[in-house]
Amino acid sequence: MDVQFKLYNTIGQPTWKIEQYQQTVKSQYKQPLNEIQELLYEQGETNTQINISIEIDIKNERVFPPVITIGDGTEEQTMKYQNLKKKIVRLLPE
């Protein structure tokens, strides 16, 4: 599972604010990401490619809904993993 935190609106923001807000967001996602790992293990999907991209707006202190890609992103893979994606979304913070 690959998780990326992408930062936006960082220009003009103090370094301490960028680091502090980024750490706050990462701490909010730590437990849910562990639960997702457990879910994947239980479902036997430990070798399935999963990408989770989380965009963080530093200036406005806002986190956008995560973008989740499972498998290779083709329509066939999207349909195959539809239920798994729903379970993952439920585990993530709002």
3-state SS string for 74-93: CHHHHHHCHHHHHHHHHHCC
Instruction: Please give the model's pTM, rounded to 2 decimal places.
Output: 0.86
pLDDT in tens, 25-71: 999 999 999 999 999 999 998 888 899 999 999 999 999 999 999 98
* Closest to 66 (Cα-Cα) out of 41, 32, 89: 89
> Residue ranges of the domains in the chain?
2-91
Structure tokens at 60: 């406005």
